[in-house]
């Protein structure tokens, strides 16, 4: 019985890996494949009357680990230079106003349906957050510039969304005192994250034992759980640590670290990134397979949920296009890459039963995830690095040279 399930589950992971390899050619977002495989597994278990495991308690924990690893994997690829500062500012503004505008629109609609303001806000926030778990793997099929933008935006969207969600989850009454406490928690989290990131970097550089990367990841998970225990925005820790490692050569610009030798760390960081990618793949595949396994398949075509999901999807696309036009960013392919996924599911299951609303249910959440993923697939089909024009390639090359000059300038300052 258990052997049969193990046979199916491991087989599906191998199929998921096959599609991971083929995704640059098929242009199909992996989430659609994995959800489909999970539903196929559900049908196989029902057909052969195998024991059906209950994944209700496993899914949130697996999703949390997946979120941490996905954000870490994405930020390890982000090299900060002066030329990228305008892009970073735009991603921060876009991520924040996307949550604010879409959250306000959904909240107003729910309030008009007769629900309380606080419950409406809490239920609307999960639908406003771009899923880095889906956006970051998909971004690898796009151009270098679009990829960097999506990694920054989706990671920041996760952090801002979780932070705002936790604020409304903890504070039933919103006043000046709760806002002041919230601001203090963010400042403490930033300070804690910076110190923890530097300490973790030192640990990574000094460990000589053969087993070093898994304990580092375990320590990151421990610090994340510790920050969450104190109601701090814990994802800031992951983002900070990833950025410190990705830009380790710039640590010598700080007064206390002028003599710190970073040359020996680069090889270790590369190996750490490889281990992170491997673990992220396993957790991400397992999460979406299990989520697909738990989906109530007949309810996906339920008309009322489908109408509401389509309405939410329409609002997501419309507001996304307006925001991109306001900040003067290209509508294609960025308007297409705003999927909902892992973080939406995690926050949805975190809503207390007393505050959950009948309109925001698992079926509707799944429909929104599928609709946004299908819409995103349009961008992956029509836009690929291989199809970019010579002019765009020249711009990308110039941008790469500019980044190199920024790094060389940093090294000159360090040597001086």
Query: Per-residue pLDDT for 410 more than 80?
Result: no
Instruction: Collect all residues with Cβ–Cβ distance below 8 Å to 299 and sequence separation of at least 6.
Output: 305, 363
CA-nearest of 216, 86, 95, 191 to 151 is: 95
Q: pLDDT confidence of 145, banded at 50, 70, 90?
A: confident
CA-nearest of 243, 227, 316, 320 to 71 is: 243
Query: Per-residue pLDDT for 307 more than 70?
Result: yes
- Each domain of the chain, given as residue ranges in start order, spans 56-415
Please give the pLDDT value at position 304.
Answer: 85
Please give the pLDDT value at position 303.
Answer: 86
∠ CA 155-156-161, rounded to 5°: 105
Mean pLDDT (whole number) for 273-279: 90
The fold for domain 56-415 equals Na+/H+ antiporter like fold (1.20.1530)
Write out pLDDT tens, residues 212-246: 888 888 888 998 888 888 777 788 888 888 888 88
Q: pLDDT confidence of 392, banded at 50, 70, 90?
A: very low
Mean pLDDT (whole number) for 9-24: 80
- Give the pTM: 0.80
């Amino acid at each position: 019985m258990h052997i049969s399930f193990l046979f199916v589950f491991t087989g599906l992971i191998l199929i998921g890996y096959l599609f991971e390899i083929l995704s640059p050619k098929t242009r199909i977002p992996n989430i659609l494949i994995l959800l489909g495989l999970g539903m196929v597994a559900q049908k196989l278990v029902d057909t052969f009357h195998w024991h059906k495991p209950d994944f209700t308690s496993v899914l949130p924990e697996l999703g949390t680990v997946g979120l941490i690893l996905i954000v870490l994997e994405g930020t390890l690829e982000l090299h900060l230079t002066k030329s990228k500062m305008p892009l970073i500012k735009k991603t921060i503004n876009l991520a924040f106003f996307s949550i604010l505008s879409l959250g306000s629109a959904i909240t107003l609609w729910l309030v008009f349906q007769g629900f309380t303001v606080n419950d409406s806000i809490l239920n609307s926030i999960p639908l406003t957050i771009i899923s880095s778990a889906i956006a970051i793997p998909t971004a690898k099929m796009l151009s270098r510039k679009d990829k960097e933008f999506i990694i920054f935006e989706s990671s920041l969207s996760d952090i801002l969304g979780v932070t705002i969600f936790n604020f409304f989850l903890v504070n039933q009454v919103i006043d000046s005192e709760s806002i002041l406490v919230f601001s203090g928690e963010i400042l403490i989290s930033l300070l804690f994250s910076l110190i923890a990131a530097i300490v973790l970097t030192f640990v990574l550089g000094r460990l000589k034992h053969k087993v070093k990367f898994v304990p580092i990841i375990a320590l990151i998970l421990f610090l994340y759980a510790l920050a969450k225990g104190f109601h701090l925005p814990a994802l800031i820790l992951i983002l900070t640590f990833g950025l410190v490692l990705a830009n380790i050569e710039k640590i010598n610009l700080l007064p206390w670290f002028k003599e710190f030798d970073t040359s020996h760390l680069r090889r270790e960081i590369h190996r750490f990134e490889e281990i992170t990618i491997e673990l992220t793949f396993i957790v991400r595949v397992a999460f979406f397979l299990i989520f697909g396994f738990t989906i109530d398949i007949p309810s996906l075509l339920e008309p009322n949920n489908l109408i509401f999901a389509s309405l939410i999807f329409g609002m997501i696309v419309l507001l996304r296009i307006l925001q991109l036009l306001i900040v003067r960013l290209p509508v294609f392919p960025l308007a297409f890459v705003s999927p909902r996924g892992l973080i939406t599911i995690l926050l949805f299951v975190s809503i207390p039963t007393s505050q959950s609303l009948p309109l925001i249910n698992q079926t509707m959440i799944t429909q929104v995830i599928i609709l946004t993923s299908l819409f995103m697939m349009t961008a992956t089909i029509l836009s690929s690095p291989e199809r970019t024009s010579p002019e765009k390639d020249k711009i990308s090359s110039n941008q790469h040279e500019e980044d190199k000059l920024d790094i060389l300038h940093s090294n000159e300052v360090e040597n001086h």
